Chains A and B, each alone.
Chain A
Amino acid sequence: MSREIKTGQVAARCVRPAAFLTQYLAEMVGALLIQGAVNLFVVLVGFLCFGRYMTIPSASALPAFALCLILAVMLRLMMIDVFSLLCFFTTGYLGISWTRAALFDFFSGAMIPVALFPGWLKAIACCTPFPYMLQAPVAVLLGQDTLVGLPAVYGLQTVWILIFLGLHGLIYGLARRNLTIAGG
């Protein structure tokens, strides 16, 4: 979406008879399904090659994990959406994209598990939405400590989704109020 904003192609998205957010979510979910299938294949190959070094998740954890994963994916999509909308004000997307990636990689546990963080840094991480996008689902699947407890994980994921929904409405409203399309 950020590229569309930069090139002006976002104008077409704005005039379509469907909500801006609905279009974005539909597009992202479609792309994610394909990406998810590819990633699943890579994971399966990984298990076949290095399965003896890996932890096999317990089947009893799957229902709790499935809900946590769905909320995590929704949360991640909303976060990307809100960061992308900021491109309406910056005219560039690389800085925003790198900032988002840096924050996500570190605080989500993608770089180093949040469980290894020192106490004060762990507390800061838990106050951000990022651990609930990756660290929490993985911890639920493997039956490890979720840092805040499973009900709180679900609650915080939902709260952060609602916060990002609110931010989407606010930022998109501001952008549409004084929108100048460049290019297109």
Chain B
Amino acid sequence: MIRIFLEMKAQYIKTEMEYSANFWMMLFSGVLTRLVSMAAPFVIYSNLPDIAGWKRDEIYLILSFLFIAEGLCSVLFEGIWQMPAMVFDGKFDCILSRPVSPLFQVISYGMGLQGISVFLVGAVSLPVFLKRLDLFHPLGVVLSLFFVLCGTLLCMSIYLMGNCVVFWFDAGGRTTIPYTVSQVGQYARYPLEIYPNIMRFLLLFLVPYGFICVVPVEILRGSAAWTECFGVAGVSAVFFLVARAVFYRGIRHYESVGM
């Protein structure tokens, strides 16, 4: 299955590279959007000494975890974002008629080119800021890889749940709900202490972007106990199982619209 998955991704990237202008534009936009995201803390910290006791490099570390998770999700699981269009134009029928897991087919469909550059920005900035914060030691690296793994799974689960809405509320092949959820999650680019309790709850348990990037950095900098690693893994696993259940529940609700 993994070989088929990688083979499909290889074919998608070959297809995309045929349109070279668009290919490079997508990579450029991925880098630019993330550099702009990193410029925001730069401006804030040129006016403020710190944010709730957090240093600028720690904010960049939060962003690095977020970029890697988002980038990997975009490269590996872009098909999730194609679900609304598949349901609207009837392509989802093909998914259901093949003797392969529908979830596997959806996640292996397509490839987000900008994800490559988003991932690269995160992959470059993560070791840089780990080093600047004196966290570039074996334990720090192992924990970081663990958080990347959990964060990517969690990010995929959030996207999947958001896009499953299309099974119940079709909006002409496009739905703004998963995009809105993703935008809400962007508030987790900053320490959760600065938000009111309701917002913290939202970012930890409803749209759990906090577990993708903020909680990992809290553990690494020592402001949260290392046992919270189990919380990160647990939330990731639970959200994946719930997302999977919602997806299959949605399929039961799916009605073909014809080709």
CB closest chain-A residue, reference B43? A112
> In the assembly, what is the distance between CA of A173 and CA of B28, in Å?
25
Contact of B28 among A99, A112, A116 (CB under 8 A): A99
**Interface SS, A side:** helix
Chain A residues numbered 105-131 whose CB sits less than 8 Å from any CB in chain B: 105-106, 111-112, 116-118, 121
Chain A residues numbered 91-106 whose CB sits less than 8 Å from any CB in chain B: 91-92, 94-96, 98-99, 101-103, 105-106
A95 touching B47, Cβ below 8 Å: no
Contact of A144 with B by CB under 8 A:
no
Beyond the given pairs A102-B29, A111-B36, 4 more chain A to chain B contacts, judged by CB atoms under 8 angstroms and listed by A's residue number, are A91-B21, A95-B113, A118-B43, A121-B43
Contact of A39 with B by CB under 8 A:
no
Contact of A35 with B by CB under 8 A:
no
Provide 24 A-B residue pairs closer than 8 Å at the C-beta atoms, listed in order of the A residue. Answer: A89-B21, A90-B19, A90-B21, A90-B22, A91-B19, A91-B21, A91-B22, A92-B19, A94-B29, A94-B114, A95-B25, A95-B28, A98-B114, A99-B25, A99-B28, A99-B32, A99-B33, A102-B29, A102-B36, A103-B32, A116-B43, A116-B47, A118-B43, A121-B43
B26 touching A94, Cβ below 8 Å: yes
Residues of A within 8 A of B40 (CB): 106, 111-112
- Least Cβ–Cβ distance between B81 and chain A, in angstroms: 11
CB closest chain-B residue, reference A118? B46
> In the assembly, what is the distance between CA of A92 and CA of B23, in Å?
9
A106 touching B36, Cβ below 8 Å: yes
Residues of B within 8 A of A96 (CB): 25, 29
